[in-house]
Chain A
């Protein structure tokens, strides 16, 4: 994830901005990560890594989300 997108994703996990994907798995994952971060803010980096791994694994599916998040 590029820095700009990562900053936006961080805000999504903190609930500061809302982004709903058209990808069910990504939404469930974001929801899980939001709960983790809320329970323990120190796990933000681990959550970002997990989201990054997800987005990197399926670039064809992720490209729409990455483009959308970049312009939030």
Chain B
């Protein structure tokens, strides 16, 4: 829910466990308490998509039996798989452009046990077209960071389980060329296309590929996107890393991005997500300003975490049982 600073302060002072997304100026004025926060001025509220620096998107974690907050850097962020509750939900926020986010993005798929622990989160950001700085906040101390991940471990009652899922409008065409990369990387020069080594930037230009279309990888029917950030000087830069040993194809063309996104939201079937966040690229390309996406409300983000870092995706969590 999008609420005022005063309403948020009251929830904190009442001892509620909270996840908060807001502009830095709002987060910096909050009292200490059991909350974590990340910066963004973009939200999907009950009234639709909006950009505001005067309200906060607050999720009350009233389904928790208990909760703990921790802060990690790039060398120890994967302690989350050891320090989480056995039956719980891990929520993490990492600043855009930080080394901890890059480390998480590159290494998460190789971390044993990660899939055994429901993990959801997002990459904090700032107003586009400004020289902003993405931050995360540890509400227990009030400290903010540009280079750390802030994590909330949520303990669930024994009879409940968290399930993480996503909404992605993209799929692939299995007759399209297979693209592979040599390493796990956020920037690449070369790739192979159907086994032939090529310069990836030249391939994109030659084929006239729309860079709004992400690369997609098929994980047993779940399609995970890698969005293109920029193509320059023969290199292609991504918002999330590509991985060696994974087959990619460019997503099939979507004629009406906004309509397709609405269709997917309507057919996704989640009844009562306790948390969701949506990519800034969906917000822009899907023209979500002023549009509602019930029941999915939450921050609009510079990257989404559903176990691993995703792009151009809405991720959400439901509590089952």
CB within 8 Å of B: which residues of A? 18-25, 27-31, 34-35, 53-54, 57-61
- Tell me if B125 is interfacial: C-beta within 8 Å of chain A: no
- Complex interface: chain A residues within 8 A of B163 (CB): 23, 58, 61
On whether the beta carbons of A28 and B115 are closer than 8 Å, the reply is: yes
Contacts of A57 in B (CB 8 A): 116
Establish whether residues A28 and B161, one from each chain, have CB atoms under 8 Å apart when the complex forms. no
Complex CA gap A58/B245 in Å reads 29
User: B37 to nearest A CB, angstroms?
Assistant: 25
The answer to whether B219 has its CB under 8 Å from any CB of chain A is yes
| Residues B307 and A28 in contact, CB atoms below 8 Å apart | yes
Residues of B158-189 at the interface with A, using a CB-CB cut-off of 8 Å, are 159-161, 163-166
User: Are B307 and A25 in contact, CB atoms less than 8 angstroms apart?
Assistant: yes
B residues apposed to A, CB below 8 Å: 115-116, 118, 159-161, 163-166, 218-222, 245, 306-308, 320-321
Specify the chain A residue showing the minimal Cβ separation from B269. A22
Q: 14 additional contacts, CB 8 Å, given A20-B221, A28-B115, A31-B220? A: A20-B220, A21-B220, A23-B163, A24-B164, A24-B165, A24-B222, A24-B307, A25-B118, A25-B164, A27-B220, A28-B222, A28-B307, A30-B220, A31-B218
Q: Contact check, B222 vs A20: say whether CB atoms are below 8 A apart.
A: yes
Could you tell me the distance between the alpha carbons of A18 and B222 in the complex, rounded to whole angstroms?
13
Chain B residue with the shortest CB-CB distance to A35: B245
The answer to whether A24 touches B166, judged by C-beta atoms less than 8 angstroms apart, is: yes
Q: Contacts of B159 on A, CB cut-off 8 Å?
A: 60
Most buried by B among A20, A24, A25, A35: A24
Contact between B220 and A34 (Cβ–Cβ < 8 Å)?
Answer: yes
Q: Max chain B CB contacts within 10 Å: which of A18, A35, A57?
A: A57
B219 and A28: CB pair below 8 A?
Answer: yes
Report B-chain residues with C-beta under 8 Å of the C-beta of A29.
Answer: 115
Q: Cα distance A27–B220 when bound, in Å?
A: 5
Residue of A nearest to B307 (CB): A25
Residues in chain A near residue B161, CB distance under 8 A: 58-61
* B321 and A27 form a contact (CB under 8 A): no
Query: Is B116's CB under 8 angstroms from A54's CB?
Result: yes
Contact of A27 among B116, B222, B245 (CB under 8 A): B222
**Shortest beta-carbon contacts, A-B, top 10:** A20-B221, A27-B222, A31-B219, A27-B220, A31-B220, A60-B321, A30-B220, A60-B161, A25-B115, A58-B161
